[in-house]
């Protein structure tokens, strides 16, 4: 995969900035404006070793049920909003999922930082 290649990709999930996350050649391809379940032609605009960024070329072949017409006339050009092409309910669900994943990651990280049962790691030296 190289810059300016046009690939037909299927979106698997939404990323941190509500961009579509697709897979091509074992790499993640982040495509703003794509929604999970959609298949569309994508132009690769930047490629790195383990990921790439793409741009939608036209409309998705099979639009998702949560896709809607943006209510802002400058949405495609502005870049200030990331979810105007999704229904409000889908936007809330995606943000809730990101929040719960973030909290779970924080909880896991906090649990891994602890040693000796319930004692916090930063006090382990003083509690001997």
**Cα(15)–Cα(73) distance, rounded to whole angstroms?**
24
Decide if pLDDT at 77 tops 90. no
Total domains present in the chain: 1
Q: What is the pTM of this model?
A: 0.76
Residue ranges making up the domain that contains 15: 6-104
Min mean pLDDT across 19-23, 104-108, 121-125 is at 121-125
Instruction: Report whether 43 contacts 55 (CB < 8 A).
Output: yes
125 falls within a domain: no
Decide if pLDDT at 70 tops 90. no
Give the pLDDT score at 82. 84
The CATH number of residue 78's host domain is 2.40.50.140
121 falls within a domain: no
Decide if pLDDT at 75 tops 60. yes
53 falls within a domain: yes
Average pLDDT over residues 41-67: 92
In this prediction, residue 103 has a pLDDT band, given cuts at 50, 70 and 90, of confident
**Three-state secondary structure call for residue 109:** helix
């Amino acid at each position: 995969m190289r810059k300016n290649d046009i690939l037909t990709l299927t979106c698997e999930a939404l990323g941190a900035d509500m961009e579509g996350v697709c897979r091509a050649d074992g790499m993640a391809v982040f495509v703003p404006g794509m929604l999970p379940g959609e298949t569309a032609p994508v132009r690769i605009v930047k490629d790195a070793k383990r990921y790439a960024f793409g741009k939608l070329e036209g409309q998705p072949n099979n639009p998702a049920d949560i896709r809607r017409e943006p209510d802002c006339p400058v949405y495609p050009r502005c870049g200030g909003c990331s979810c105007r092409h999704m229904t409000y309910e889908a936007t809330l669900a995606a943000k809730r999922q990101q929040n719960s994943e973030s909290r779970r990651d924080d909880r896991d990280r906090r649990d891994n930082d602890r040693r000796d049962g319930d004692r916090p790691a930063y006090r382990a030296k003083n509690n001997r």
